[in-house]
């Protein structure tokens, strides 16, 4: 029996899906890489405690990833951004100071995204169009603004919620090892928001990486950086 609530829920889902496909086409949002590929992405850094440990581990495993840097963190630690690039990783921007986009008007949000890109561009020495909005938040208006700025927004398809305070390596690995061909995995080399002291320990994410890489390789997947297409 179909109840009124189910019908309303179905309409709500359809409306949300329709609205989201508009956002995706306005913003040219990407979320999948090519067949046979998988992409690891790290948000919110760089931070001198955790990002070098992530880079060390990726280097040991021989995989490349993409780092979405907060502008002020890139400005504070440019040497870590340059190290990531020198080791074959890709770099994108992730706003200037990582505000909650849902709480900002379109003008200040445009400034945040412009500042974030400018900061990362200044560190890298060439234009950096790769971009991820904080919280993956996009509306028709902000997607249009992102497009006007010629940013190339990337979201994700696999989210191990590794920012959660107290999350374990096993919990991160359980979700991240589910990545299949074309998946983009969201992880964090630092946590800007929601902020909690326990979330700043990135050990679980780092300890999960060998299992994640082994699982993907066992299934013939190749790790890739995100293209700015
Ligand atoms: Zn973030």
Residues 101-158 have pLDDT tens digits of: 999 999 999 999 999 999 999 999 999 999 999 999 999 999 999 999 999 999 999 9
pTM of the model: 0.93
Token readout for 159 is 């989210």
pLDDT digits (tens, 9 = 90+) for 40-92: 999 999 999 999 999 999 999 999 999 999 999 999 999 999 999 999 999 99
Going from the Cα of 136 to the center of ligand 1, the distance in angstroms, rounded, reads 8
Residue of higher predicted confidence among 215 and 14? 215
Tell me if residue 22 falls in helix, strand or coil.
Answer: helix
Going from the Cα of 135 to the center of ligand 1, the distance in angstroms, rounded, reads 6
**CATH for the stretch 14-223:** 3.20.20.370
Going from the Cα of 124 to the center of ligand 1, the distance in angstroms, rounded, reads 20
Q: Which of 196, 164, 190 shows the shortest CA–CA distance to 94?
A: 190
Going from the Cα of 186 to the center of ligand 1, the distance in angstroms, rounded, reads 10
Q: Which of 158, 154, 162 shows the shortest CA–CA distance to 180?
A: 158
pLDDT digits (tens, 9 = 90+) for 162-181: 999 899 999 999 999 999 99
Domain ranges of the chain: 14-223
- Residue-level pLDDT at 85: 98
Going from the Cα of 151 to the center of ligand 1, the distance in angstroms, rounded, reads 16
Token readout for 198 is 């326990």
Going from the Cα of 147 to the center of ligand 1, the distance in angstroms, rounded, reads 20
As residues whose CB is below 5 A from the ion ligand 1, the structure lists 43-44, 134
Cα–Cα dist 115/123, whole Å: 12
Active site residues: 43, 188
Give how far the C-alpha of residue 142 lies from the chain's centroid of Cα atoms, to the nearest Å.
Answer: 17
């Amino acid at each position: 029996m179909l109840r009124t609530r189910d019908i309303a829920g179905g309409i709500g889902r359809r409306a949300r899906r329709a609205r989201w496909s508009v956002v995706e086409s306005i913003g040219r949002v990407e979320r999948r890489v090519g067949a046979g590929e998988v992409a690891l992405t790290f948000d919110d850094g760089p931070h001198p405690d955790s990002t070098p440990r992530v880079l060390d581990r990726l280097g040991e495993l021989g995989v490349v990833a993409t780092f979405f840097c907060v502008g002020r963190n890139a400005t504070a630690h440019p040497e870590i951004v340059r190290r990531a690039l020198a080791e074959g990783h890709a770099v994108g921007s992730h706003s200037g100071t990582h505000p909650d986009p849902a709480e900002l008007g379109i003008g200040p949000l445009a400034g945040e995204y412009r500042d974030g890109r400018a900061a990362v561009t200044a560190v890298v020495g060439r234009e950096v169009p790769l971009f991820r909005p904080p919280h993956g938040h996009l509306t028709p208006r902000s997607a249009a603004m992102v497009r006007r700025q010629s940013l190339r927004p990337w979201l994700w398809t696999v989210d191990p919620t590794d920012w959660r305070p107290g999350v374990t390596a096993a919990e991160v690995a359980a979700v991240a090892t589910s990545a299949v061909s074309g998946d983009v995995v969201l992880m964090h080399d630092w946590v800007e928001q929601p902020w909690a002291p326990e979330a700043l320990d990135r050990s679980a994410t780092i300890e999960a990486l060998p299992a994640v890489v082994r699982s993907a390789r066992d299934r013939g997947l190749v790790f890739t950086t995100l293209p700015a297409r």
